[in-house]
Structure 1
Amino acid sequence: MVETKTQLNIAVIGAGYWATSAHIPGILQHKKAKLIAIQNRTLSKAAQIAADFGADLSFDDYRTLIVTANPDAVVISSTPNVHYEQAKFALEHHKHVLLEKPMTFTVAQAQELCELAEKNNLQLLVSCPWHYTRHGIEARRLIHQHILGDIKMISVLMTNPVDKLLKGINTSPTHGMNHAYLEPGKGSYSDPKIAGGGQIYTQVSHAGAYLSFLTGKQPAEVYAKFDNDGSVNDIYNALNISMENGALITLASTGATPLSVRNYEVRVFGTRGILLLELWKGTMVYYPFEGESRHYRELSEEEIYPDRAPVINFINTCLGLEENGSPGELGLAAMKIIEAATQSNKTGKPINILQTS
């Protein structure tokens, strides 16, 4: 947390599909935040978004916004290819930063941003809504307080219907959202030069961060295979991961699934119990080796994916009211998995992250 302020002036850089769907509505609902400026590569779009959402200033250049509008904090929801340069510029100019995932293109870039935020005593938050569900927070507590014992294995299955986005096929309405203010720009998900890659960058960036969120541990080794299904981007990912404490992880992920049957299953196996989470279904069950099982109260539809939670926590953290629930280090952990998995898929060999760090 930082020194308490009475109001946080925020600017949004890269205002598009996700910013107008989640971040900006979250800013507007917070009584101690003020949206002061909008940036979009197209100035007319920036001006329209600013007018529609009540910001006074609009820009097509993020540097001019940061210097001229002088916000306390920025939300960066641009395409991944410019995350690093925009976040670095903001941190160098002493602005708190909420950064969309994937955090960057490379581990080195993510590491630099984390170090810069720490050096300048700034908040750096990576937007991962699943870090804010009560099931996720309780699962982390059970693991950190050793209630499950030593964590030996975690199994993750993550599917989400984004394969058409990754292949560059028209997907309106995106993610089944019938009332999106803006649709993603052409190539935002399908051009590797813009998005970094396919499923590994778009979705495993969630799961990779979640592993360290739950366990508090860093990935140590990754072996991975991808299937592009005829695309320039990976559509199917299968990863074997070893964490620094020796825990074994299997992570399978694909963007090729109907919306009605998407999965995000996390199975945590400890020496004293097993924890079963269904993140898209909002269920969690704890099975101790001794004693009765516990079925946690199901999440409501609104709680399953709390898309405004990251920016609300970001505001509160910058105001000194809460702890950072999704610090940049979790995005860095995800980038370690993404980078190693991509390298492993190319070489056919396991990648020892600890030796390359």
Structure 2
Amino acid sequence: MPVQSPVRIGVLGAGWFASRRHCPDIAAHREAELAALCRRNPDQLARMAEAFSVTATFTDYREMLDSGLLDGVLVCSPHDLHYDHARAALDRGLHVLLEKPITLDPDEGRALVALADEKGLALVVAQNPPYWSHCRYLRDKIQQGALGEIEGAAIHWVGNARGVLGLEPLPGDMPGVVKPTLYRANAAQNGGGFLIDGGSHLICELLWCTGRRVISVAAQMDDAGFDVRCALALHLDNGAYATVSQCADSQIRAKRQHSLYYGSAGTAVMRGFPFWVELECDQVVERFGEEELQEPPSPVGDFIDCALGRGAPEIEGETAVHVVEIINAAAQSAREGRTIAL
């Protein structure tokens, strides 16, 4: 059910992350209008409205969704509210751009995907890999057969997220119009610790770039209820094995990531931040920095195209659901000390 340009977007959960990433993109997009903002704290809502010159503000999301001012909604609320908020928007015939994870319960995620399909609405989940140039380059090469059959993969991420996880005071120089609400410090609201949050991008990278699914998970975590450090062993549906590990309390605050993909015809290496990608096939090595690769779409740009009927989401809904399935299985594996089949 495409709409007309400009796409009028309301932000549900108009806070720190939305102010850093999505709201500036909406405001700058020539085919979008930042039409309304919603959050429960009136003072912070006023600050957001002033920063982005928005006159329509709401402290009750239902009133915003029923206002008639919107064609679509950006959902940036705590993870445990994603299903209720996205469902409410879809029920009202509104397109949805949903921050990751899609939901905490895979069945609820599939229900959202099915409802969006039934109503002909866009449901775009903002996982990073589809919107990163190095991941898009790797995915294209894998789809073209440059690496051959994927035989193994390893993804490692090290950084410091202690502040947003509520484990130490937030830095005083954090970007954004308002500070984080620290819902990530609440395991029930967040759905766990770091893996369901920033760590979900690592799992999405593996799935989205390779096109594979995971059939079993074995994991170790420092705390299965609120992980900061963890390591996952993943059995892929083509017989290959992959590992994903994270350390979110490093003494070095700069984010470091190293991804390796081994194929029957070549090897790919991605390293950041900032990212570069290296491909070795037939003893020929190609290496590119992100600035040398094709500029990727943004989640907002992808959402606008979908709402206007110009294409499908960069990430399929089922892939976003599978990310959550794997994370839930990892937590279960760490609790029970056994491999979990999917």
What TM-score does the superposition give when structure 2 sets the normalisation length? 0.93
Deviates more, 1:212-221 or 1:315-324: 315-324
Is residue 329 of structure 1 aligned with residue 318 of structure 2? yes
1:275 aligns with 2:264: no
The answer as to 2:152 corresponding to 1:153 is yes
- Does residue 340 of the first structure (1) align with residue 333 of the second (2)? no
Which residue is equivalent to 1:204?
199
Asked whether the equivalents of residues 103 and 110 of structure 1 are also in contact (C-alpha less than 8 Å), the reply is yes
Instruction: Give 1 or 2: higher helix fraction.
Output: 1
Report deviation, 1:150. 0.5
Query: What is the rounded CA distance, in whole Å, between the counterparts of 2:4 and 2:60 in structure 1?
Result: 28
Would the aligned equivalents of 1:47 and 1:59 in 2 still touch at CA under 8 Å? no
Contact 2:332 2:340 survives alignment (8 Å):
yes
* Counterpart-to-counterpart distance in 1, 2:196 and 2:161: 12
Matches within 5 A, 1:259-274: 259=252, 261-274=254-267
Residue 287 of structure 2 corresponds to 295
SS in 2 for 1:189: helix
What secondary structure sits across from 1:202 in the alignment?
A: coil
Q: What residue number does 1:111 align with?
A: 110
Shift of 1:260: 5.1
Instruction: Answer yes or no: is 1:253 the counterpart of 2:229.
Output: no
Given that 1:72 and 1:95 are in contact with CA atoms closer than 8 Å, whether structure 2 keeps it comes out as yes
The answer to whether the 8 A contact 2:38-2:60 is kept is yes
Q: Does 1:182 align with 2:178?
A: yes
1:334-354: per-residue Cα shift (whole Å, max 9, x none)? 10111100111111111111x
Equivalent in the alignment of 1:83:
82
Q: Write the deviation string for residues 36-61 of structure 1: whole angstroms up to 9, x where unpaired.
A: 11000123432332233122211111
Question: How far, CA to CA, are the matches of 1:183 and 1:300 in structure 2?
Answer: 30
**Whole-angstrom distance in 2 between the partners of 1:49 and 1:184:** 13
- Quickly say closer, same or farther: Cα 1:279–1:247, change in 2 above 3 A: farther
SS at match of 1:208: helix
Unpaired runs of at least 5, structure 1: none
> Partner residue of 1:227?
222
**Which residue of 1 is the match for residue 101 of structure 2?**
102
Offset from partner CA, 1:70-92 (integer Å, 9 cap, x none): 41110001111111110111111
Tell me how far apart the structure 2 counterparts of residues 133 and 293 of structure 1 sit (CA, whole Å).
21
Provide the alpha-carbon RMSD of the alignment: 2.3
| Unmatched segments (≥5 aa) in structure 2 | none
CA shift for structure 1 position 208: 1.5
Determine what percentage of the aligned residue pairs are the same residue: 27
CA distance in 2, matches of 1:304, 1:233: 37
User: Which residue matches 2:186?
Assistant: 191
Once the two structures are superposed, the pairs formed by residues 135-174 of structure 1 within 5 Å of their partners are 135-173=134-172
Query: Judging changes above 3 Å, is the alpha-carbon distance between structure 1 residues 324 and 244 closer, same or farther for their aligned structure 2 residues?
Result: same
Q: Does the CA contact (< 8 Å) of 1:151 and 1:247 recur in 2?
A: yes
Once the two structures are superposed, what CA deviation does each residue of 1:157-213 show, in whole Å capped at 9, x if it has no partner? 01221034324421124xxx544211111x311111211111221122111111111
SS in 2 for 1:88: helix
Q: Give 1:132 shift.
A: 1.7
Q: Distance in 2 between matches of 1:179 and 1:205?
A: 22
Match of residue 243, structure 1, among 223, 228, 236? 236
Residues 249 and 195 of structure 1, relative CA distance in 2, 3 Å threshold: same
| CA displacement 1:85-129 (0-9 Å, x = unmatched) | 101111111111111112211211211111111111111111123
Q: Kindly indicate whether the alpha-carbon contact (under 8 Å) linking 2:48 and 2:178 is maintained by their aligned counterparts in 1.
A: no
Deviation at 1:326, TM superposition (A): 2.8
The Cα shift of 1:30 comes to 0.2
**Counterpart AA for 2:262:** F
Deviation at 1:329, TM superposition (A): 2.6
| Shift in alpha-carbon separation, 1:259–1:94, aligned structure 2, 3 A | farther
Taking a change above 3 Å as real, the CA distance of residues 93 and 15 of structure 1, as seen in their structure-2 partners, is same
* Counterpart contact for 1:168–1:189, Cα < 8 Å: no
Q: 1:351 maps to what in 2?
A: 340
Q: Residue 50 of structure 1 corresponds to which residue in structure 2?
A: 49
Mean Cα displacement is larger for which, 164-173 or 19-28?
164-173
Between the aligned partners of 1:305 and 1:207, the Cα distance in structure 2 is 21
Q: Return the TM-score normalized by structure 1.
A: 0.89
Aligned length: 342
- Distance in 1, Cα, partners of 2:295 & 2:161: 16
Are residues 258 and 123 of structure 1, via their aligned partners in 2, closer, same or farther at CA, if it must alter by over 3 Å?
farther
* C-alpha separation in 1, matches of 2:180 and 2:80: 15
